[in-house]
Structure 1
């Protein structure tokens, strides 16, 4: 999101379905009441806005979504109006990190099944795989991956995507104080200490969940973009 927002030709929106997700799912996230109060919690209204209220001052409109926000009662027809790209990350790192905050959870709370379902929907609609980026590969070669992504989307690459000034943004969601401390300090793509560490050991009781997530991750990994030469 920071990379695209730093382009002079792009406007971004941060997790526009988060309020709907919290209100409908009952999930207890930090700042839940403030998020619900600040956002449109009608998914139909949000989806319509995302597809019709495109900013006129910029050529590109970047929407950051979390697939766990796509609850079962939602129709996904509106998604067909977007150019959908997928970001994947090593499942065991996600599971171990999430388990520290919420020890009991289903895989759906991490968005893995929803991401796979949306990916397969896109493959069927397009007749080919949509762009997939792997987080580790992106951190290792941000320019090559972002150039490949832009090429896949048919938009020009801009060097402004590689670095940005630190600090808060007006576009950041209400939840930024709880989740964005590292993002606010960032000035570009760099792995955190945790991301540089070897893959963490999975606590007892989570192995089956990790295996299910890993299967989904591997299915999408087969379609990861090849970084462009720089």
Structure 2
């Protein structure tokens, strides 16, 4: 039977550039945030670009779309748990049919990055709490702690992190998948404005780390509230990073 890998992440976690490695591999059919299509439409307030009308817009429809794709090839999908949290929490059968990988990033940096693209994002859209909820569901389902990657480790040592991930998944590490042309893959076009850096990249790199602009937290008190709420869930998952 073909494999399915679910990369569960939160917004601005460097998940798109990790997805890019799987696009470049060529041995997986890759889906970019398919469950976003049950959470949003082209008329939603969240910034979007070329809306993909070919994807279903219900949880059941999207799930069946992925499972049908797995009948013809290996499948990799990257998703945000908050898009489909209520349905996903109780759908242990779907979770059991795939390898569930989790990606986290320090919430202050992800919140500031998120704010730059979508200043009106609500508290739950930061995503760490929903991610932790599914992390707990998978832990209970499998009887073991799921595989967790910290985005800072991915940026700092991409080859080491990807090699280790491949070992965990029992798939071959492909060095050629670590570099690519600067372009927008078809899968990203709906959310293209969110992925400018990834589109203009040629590999995973660690950008120079600047101090977090805490003046934004002072200017926008809701950002500090978001940070205080989500940092606990980040810290809990970070204990299990590979």
Instruction: Give the TM interval when normalised to the shorter protein.
Output: 0.7 to 0.9
C-alpha distance in structure 2 between counterparts of 1:40 and 1:30, whole Å: 20
Match of 2:194 in 1: 179
Q: Does 1:30 align with 2:47?
A: yes
Contact 2:126–2:226 (CA under 8 A) maintained in structure 1: no
Match of 2:234 in 1: 217
Match of 1:165 in 2: 181
Structure 2 spans left out of the alignment, 5+ residues: 1-18
Query: What are the equivalent positions in structure 2 for 1:91-170 lying under 5 Å apart?
Result: 91-170=107-186
Contact 2:126–2:230 (CA under 8 A) maintained in structure 1: no
Comparing 4-13 and 35-44, the one that deviates more: 35-44
Deviation of 1:8 after TM superposition, in Å, equals 3.1
C-alpha distance in structure 2 between counterparts of 1:122 and 1:27, whole Å: 30
Query: Any idea what SS the aligned residue of 2:235 has?
Result: helix
Contact 1:51–1:81 (CA under 8 A) maintained in structure 2: no
Q: 1:69 aligns with which of 53, 78, 83?
A: 83
Contact 2:55–2:62 (CA under 8 A) maintained in structure 1: no
C-alpha distance in structure 2 between counterparts of 1:105 and 1:5, whole Å: 28
Deviation of 1:216 after TM superposition, in Å, equals 0.6
Structure 1 spans left out of the alignment, 5+ residues: 226-230
Q: Does 1:17 align with 2:38?
A: no
Distance 1:119 1:8, change over 3 A: same
Count of residue pairs brought into register by the alignment: 217
C-alpha distance in structure 1 between counterparts of 2:87 and 2:75, whole Å: 26
Deviation of 1:155 after TM superposition, in Å, equals 1.6
Contact 2:82–2:124 (CA under 8 A) maintained in structure 1: yes
C-alpha distance in structure 1 between counterparts of 2:181 and 2:148, whole Å: 27
Match of 1:228 in 2: none
Match of 2:206 in 1: 191
Normalised TM-score (structure 2): 0.80
Normalised TM-score (structure 1): 0.84
C-alpha distance in structure 2 between counterparts of 1:54 and 1:190, whole Å: 31
C-alpha distance in structure 2 between counterparts of 1:102 and 1:13, whole Å: 23
Q: 1:208 aligns with which of 225, 228, 236?
A: 225
Q: Does 1:81 align with 2:101?
A: no
Query: Any idea what SS the aligned residue of 1:65 has?
Result: strand
Stretches (4+) displaced over 6 A: none
